[in-house]
Structure 1
Amino acid sequence: MTNRLALIDMGTNTFHLLVTEVDDQGQLTELYKTKVPVRLGQGGISNGAIAAEASERALKTLREFRRIIDEFGAKTVRAMATSMVRNASNGDDFIKDIFKQTDIQVEVIDGAREAELIYYGVRFAGVLDEQTAMIMDIGGGSVEFILCNQNNIFWKQSFELGAQRLMDKFFTADPIPSESIAAEKAYLEERLQPLTEAVAKYKPSILVGSSGTFDTLCDIDALRKGDTSRLQSIPPAAILPLTDYYAIHEELLRKNHDERLAIPGMLEMRVDMIVLASILVDFVLQKYNLQEIRTSSYALKEGVLYEMLQK
């Protein structure tokens, strides 16, 4: 007896759909996976409402997701909305519209719950061990930090400091000027005070990056080395050598939009936001003296799946 599940992660920047089949033994077979650059936060994130155009793009995408889910005959559908929807003044209306048009019941999850699910996803990827790690998941709206190892979460917090928010605030010219980089870092220094205190207590030595930005950094890194394997399938866990990361980071800061877009492995939907996200990665590595970067392509939706399988 197999069961087909559909998982939707409605991020501020990207909507993800995963359709998977589970057998009696709890074995998973991935049937379908896609991501769509919906940009739900565009034109509205900084004034706290979902813009009409963004809402229309989201509904169109979700109608298409519904069609795919029905085609695969998935009976269980879990849809999670995060930072943009939970903070939007018109979030409730948006959720009602989705239900009306697609019959998909969206769960709006708070930051602490989002961090917990990301932890489960990363643990599922097999990237954690007994060493204390700092998981960082950079979304468009929020960034989750989890201090943990493979057995336990020691501390977790979600900060409304996602790449779209940082972009609206600091991306004033392209290539990004050094004053803007310094301003972003000063802002992070101030806003990430709770993280700084937690790091002093738990002393993580590894950075584990999950989801979008890190997938793209790994894609760029692999293609620089002539490795095309990630074009076929992205492994759940990977290593991003520090020296490689810094070579890419310097390139992102130096180049303008069109030059970044020409980098093999770059995605158009991430071409500007990745600059702000990479400054955040650099800040965290330097500030907390982390010695290694591991990456997990599993995040929120895989965390939901993991939790469902446990039940």
Structure 2
Amino acid sequence: MAGHDLAEAAPRVLEARPPPAPPPRAATTTYAALDLGTNNCRLLIARPAQHGFRVVDAFSRIVRLGEGLSSSSRLGEAAMDRAVEALKICRDKMAHRGVTRARLVTTEACRAAVNGADFVRRVQSEADIALEVIDQRTEATLAVSGCAALADPKADAVIVFDIGGGSTEIVWMGGRSQARDPAARIREWDSLPIGVVTVAERYGGIEVGRELFERMVRDCTQALEPFARKAAAASGASGFHLLGTSGTVTTVAGIHLGLPRYDRREVDGLWMQREDVLAVIDRLIDMDYAARAANACIGRERADLVLAGCAIFEAIRRAFPSERVRIADRGLREGILLRMMHEDRAWWRRR
């Protein structure tokens, strides 16, 4: 038995192994959020970071998917062709970046068009992208989730608005003391049937003088009236302010800052005073189409839309008077990314 004991002891030394290596760290999920709107096709690819996410790629192209929709109720062939080509670029970017989780949505144009479902099937066939047509409430909630971090933490009420191509989502959001989740702080919301494309097509966007601009504002005010009645108490709350996310408000901010070219870092989170907004709108009305097209913060592709957007902005500002508005170059796509990462507990996994 002694020999057996020695034989048992020896291998313990001879076969000693180093301690096992720690398990490999889980690969970071790469997320993508795509928003195909009435005017723009926009993609954001990101990975979780300590305080939110880190953008690794982005894409934006004006496709005007809703061109002519207000008069025909259909998506035009040329518009669909432009959108499909942009979506193919998005597909390739997602493949190149190794996207493992994505939400790819489309909004008002596909909701409203009689051939919207046909277009979605065409996108699946030609671009291998499965678009999700989200409803108006989902669109408003995601937009709020994406930009709510910019609301003044001391404000008891904020009117958040997203001026799109075919619709404008507007929300009365309560203060942070009510709930941590911005979606849980929504007091009232609406999706208005006015956007930069629809208003510009109704009134024309090339020659816009003061009289025509005021007619545009009155039309937008009428569309806004039911929501303005429901949310009338918001503007009387302590710390109340406006929070705008869209190409319109970021353009207004860029012009106010006198940027030689648009710079998101300068614009996102900017506070503008009432008189600053009015001064920029006055300047835009005084510009002719060529001057608007030549402005680096507007460009030729949006020169006929910017005053339509300003008319919507001005209608909201008059309905909810505030001395200040915060500008957000973030919204629906960022809301999608944050929601997916929250669902996956992405930040908990990193600890």
Shared fold (TM-score greater than 0.5)? Answer: yes
In the alignment, structure 1 segments of 5+ residues that lack a partner are: none
The one of 142, 160, 184 equivalent to 2:193 is 160
Find the aligned partners of 2:79 and 2:134 in 1 and give their Cα distance. Answer: 20
Do structure 1's residue 276 and structure 2's residue 308 form an aligned pair?
yes
Find the aligned partners of 1:135 and 1:265 in 2 and give their Cα distance. Answer: 23
The Cα shift of 1:110 comes to 1.2
The one of 321, 327, 336 equivalent to 1:295 is 327
Q: 1:46·1:165 contact (CA, 8 Å) conserved in 2?
A: no
Q: Which residue of 2 aligns with 1:310?
A: 342
The Cα shift of 1:284 comes to 2.0
Overall identity of the aligned pairs, in %: 24
- Residue 298 of structure 2 aligns to a residue whose secondary structure is coil
Q: Which residue of 2 aligns with 1:113?
A: 138
Q: 1:127·1:237 contact (CA, 8 Å) conserved in 2?
A: no
Q: Which residue of 1 aligns with 2:209?
A: 177
Find the aligned partners of 2:154 and 2:188 in 1 and give their Cα distance. Answer: 16
Deviations along 1:111-147, one digit per CA (max 9) or x if unpaired, are 11111111100114x3342411111110010001111
Higher Rg: 2
CA gap of 1:270–1:127, structure 2 versus 1, over 3 A, is: farther
In the alignment, structure 2 segments of 5+ residues that lack a partner are: 1-26, 180-184, 344-351
Over 6 Å off, 4+ runs: none
TM-score (norm 2): 0.81
CA RMSD of aligned residues (A): 2.0
Do structure 1's residue 221 and structure 2's residue 245 form an aligned pair?
no
Aligned residues: 305
Deviations along 1:232-274, one digit per CA (max 9) or x if unpaired, are 7456422123222222101111221101122342233221111
Q: Which moved further from structure 2: 193-202 or 139-148?
A: 193-202
Find the aligned partners of 2:275 and 2:221 in 1 and give their Cα distance. Answer: 23
Deviations along 1:18-63, one digit per CA (max 9) or x if unpaired, are 111226x675221011210111111334321110000000001111
Q: Which residue of 1 aligns with 2:13?
A: none
The one of 131, 138, 145 equivalent to 2:170 is 145
Q: 1:166·1:276 contact (CA, 8 Å) conserved in 2?
A: yes
The one of 24, 30, 53 equivalent to 1:28 is 53
Q: Which residue of 1 aligns with 2:151?
A: 127
CA gap of 1:159–1:277, structure 2 versus 1, over 3 A, is: same
CA gap of 1:166–1:232, structure 2 versus 1, over 3 A, is: closer
Find the aligned partners of 1:13 and 1:264 in 2 and give their Cα distance. Answer: 19
Find the aligned partners of 2:131 and 2:80 in 1 and give their Cα distance. Answer: 14
CA gap of 1:255–1:236, structure 2 versus 1, over 3 A, is: closer
Q: 2:165·2:195 contact (CA, 8 Å) conserved in 1?
A: yes
- Residue 167 of structure 1 aligns to a residue whose secondary structure is helix
Deviations along 1:45-104, one digit per CA (max 9) or x if unpaired, are 432111000000000111111111111111222111011111110000100111112221
Find the aligned partners of 1:156 and 1:239 in 2 and give their Cα distance. Answer: 23
TM-score (norm 1): 0.91
CA gap of 1:93–1:41, structure 2 versus 1, over 3 A, is: same
Q: 2:293·2:302 contact (CA, 8 Å) conserved in 1?
A: no
CA gap of 1:285–1:27, structure 2 versus 1, over 3 A, is: closer
The one of 293, 296, 300 equivalent to 1:261 is 293
Q: Which residue of 2 aligns with 1:5?
A: 31
Amino acid at match of 1:157: D
